[in-house]
Amino acid sequence: MSDSDKAPATKPARRERAPRKKATGYSASVPFQRVSATKVRRIADNIRRKPYVEAIALLDVLPHKGARLLRKLIQSAAANALARNKNLDEEMLYVKELLVDVGPSMKRMWARGRGRADRLLKRSCHISVVVDEIGAKEVANGSEG
């Protein structure tokens, strides 16, 4: 089989990503936190869709580093909400959306016996939270499926 008989190599068609829905509400985010995303997700799963006051009370008693980070971030989002809408109160808010995405990992050398070395990954994550008013209606973006 000669080179001329081969079909030309073409790149596969790139899949289009569905546009991410813009969450309504009041948000806060913190990128590049030096803690593993899996450790923060374990705590975040207990906080999603809870009222603001209940979420803060739960995070106050948890001893994890991720709980401290999430508490500060949720308080920041609530402060944004109260600053932008003077009619709101803390009891009227709930944690609408809480995303913990994987960030970049720092690669370090870990010295082992007999002159060998292993790789140590210092992981990081990006955390974003959206709080909204309890009972607020979702606005559809046109197409409903």
Question: What's the CATH code of the domain at 123?
Answer: 3.90.470.10
- The Cα 74–Cα 77 span in angstroms is 5
Output the average pLDDT for the chain.
Answer: 89
Provide the number of structural domains found in the chain.
Answer: 1
Residue 86 belongs to domain spanning: 27-133
User: How does residue 141 score in pLDDT terms, banded at 50, 70 and 90?
Assistant: low
Could you tell me the two tokens for 79?
Answer: 């402060």
- Determine, yes or no, domain membership for 113: yes
Region 22-39: mean pLDDT is: 92
Q: Is 18 contained in some domain?
A: no
